[in-house]
Amino acid sequence: MGNRATHQETCDAVCCDKFENKSPDFFYDPLASFRVNNGAPIKSLKKACYSKAKTVWPLPNHELPFFPEFPVKSVTSEHSFNVISVVSSGAYGKVLRVVHKEEAKNYAMKVLSKNMIFKENLVQQVKVEAQIQVMCDHHPFLVRGPFRWQNKRNLFIVTEFIEGGDLHQLWQETGCFHEDLIKIYVAEIALVLDFLHNAGIIYRDLKMENLLIDGHGHLKLIDFGLSKWLSHGDRCHTLCGTQQYMAPEILRLEPYTHAVDWWSLGVLFYALLQGKFPFFGNSEVPAAQETQLDFSADDVNGGSSGSESARRLIRGLLTVDPLKRVRSLRTVKNHAFYHHFDFESLRSKKVDPLPLVLKQKEKKRYFLDEIDSNAIMFD
């Protein structure tokens, strides 16, 4: 199935100072989210990666920062839940699957260490993440975060628990998606991006791992760890994101706008249609002088039955020049690929993707059997 990554590796945003003895290539794991130099603008990746860092010893509890975005005295606390399992763990804390004692309802609880947040200079980033979660969790395709609080040592963020796994897992297990399902999912993501951008937010880490599938087959976007407040017309300078999905202007260390999120959508669209990523396999990031990528019919149709209108929209999203790129919901809505498609019905969840999702999951056994049959066996 082409240049599919064989494993999933997702990590927290990190500072390059932690890896001063590593080559800059260390950061170019295409599936890892990263943020260099704690968000400071940089002129050179090499310079950012080789800066010196001093050892920061743990602070006593009374010196740990207070986060006004997180209540201290809350009706809901860690004692309101029973822990079912550990979903994931990282340098800054862990994510737990928990059940609310009174509601008997499952949630995901993120527990973040204040000491590590302070040590890695991520206080402002965590504050922004909390602010965005509070403001945006009413959107139908964003994960809800009904509870948050803090104690002396930790921050707690509780969100709805999504049972269906993430989009990346389904893609790895089943291969190319049917175009009807892709049409729904790309539209749901476009609605989310439009909502965030109109709210003055740039997301910066759109990828399949950050899209969960709920029990009705709809997508839920999670993780605002690399998001930032950004007004229209303003630009960012931080090198951050996930390499497979990063726009050329980010990789060239140029100032960039909300248009980078639409590029990431184009990469995701391409991957769902073809079963492989468009870059970092046999090809490199498009050169700075190129205006558009070369999508030959054989390339786009490899392993899929993509329509011409789908390929044209992908080309529009993956236009190297951000000023010429498809970068708005209005443009997506008016594209031939979405002719007669009702975005408002989708927004109100009157469009049902579940039958298509179940049909996609039926491919799992046959897809994995095909991989096994192509494996080389040695005596």
Query: Which residue is catalytic, options 205, 214, 223, 261?
Result: 205
Write down the pLDDT at residue 272: 96
Count of all residues that appear for the chain in the document: 379
Contact by Cβ (8 Å): 279, 28: no
Packing angle of the helix pair 308-317, 259-274 (nearest 10 deg): 150
pLDDT band (50, 70, 90) for residue 63: low
Contact by Cβ (8 Å): 206, 245: yes
Work out the average pLDDT over 348-363: 95
Does residue 101 sit in helix, strand or coil?
coil
Tokens of 184: 């729904």
Element (H, E) at 160: strand 154-160
Is 223 labeled as catalytic in the residue annotation?
no
Q: What is the mean pLDDT of the chain?
A: 79
Q: How far is CA 330 from CA 142, 160, 194, in A?
A: 20, 30, 9
- Of the given ranges (41-50, 62-71, 318-327), which has the lowest mean pLDDT? 41-50
pLDDT band (50, 70, 90) for residue 47: very low
Contact by Cβ (8 Å): 93, 113: yes
pLDDT over 50 at 205, yes or no: yes
Contact by Cβ (8 Å): 330, 336: no
Write down the pLDDT at residue 265: 98
* Measured distance CA(171)–CA(276) in Å, rounded: 10
pLDDT band (50, 70, 90) for residue 371: low
* Measured distance CA(9)–CA(209) in Å, rounded: 9
Residue carrying structure tokens 């002129």 = 43
Contact by Cβ (8 Å): 227, 128: yes
Residue 359 has a CB neighbour count (10 Å cut-off) of: 13
pLDDT (tens digit, 9 = 90+) per residue, 86-120? 998 877 889 999 999 999 999 999 999 999 988 88
Contact by Cβ (8 Å): 101, 81: yes
pLDDT over 50 at 229, yes or no: yes
pLDDT (tens digit, 9 = 90+) per residue, 241-295? 999 999 999 999 999 999 999 999 999 999 999 999 987 544 445 544 344 444 4
pLDDT over 60 at 336, yes or no: yes
Q: What percent of the chain has pLDDT over 70?
A: 72
Please give the radius of gyration of the chain, using alpha carbons only, rounded to the nearest integer.
Answer: 21
- Give one DSSP letter per residue of 28-74, joined into a string: --TT-EEEGGGG---S-HHHHHT------PPPPGGGSPP-TTS-SS-
- Give one DSSP letter per residue of 191-205, joined into a string: HHHHHHHHTTEE---
pLDDT (tens digit, 9 = 90+) per residue, 124-154? 888 888 889 888 888 999 999 899 999 989 9
* Measured distance CA(264)–CA(205) in Å, rounded: 8
Structural domains in the chain?
A: 61-160 (3.30.200.20), 167-367 (1.10.510.10)
DSSP single-letter state for residue 207: -
* Measured distance CA(65)–CA(48) in Å, rounded: 27
Instruction: Identify the CA nearest to 78 among candidates 60, 99, 64.
Output: 99
Tokens of 319: 């236009």
Residue carrying structure tokens 């999120």 = 261
pLDDT over 70 at 18, yes or no: no
pLDDT band (50, 70, 90) for residue 367: low
pLDDT band (50, 70, 90) for residue 37: very low
Does residue 310 sit in helix, strand or coil?
helix
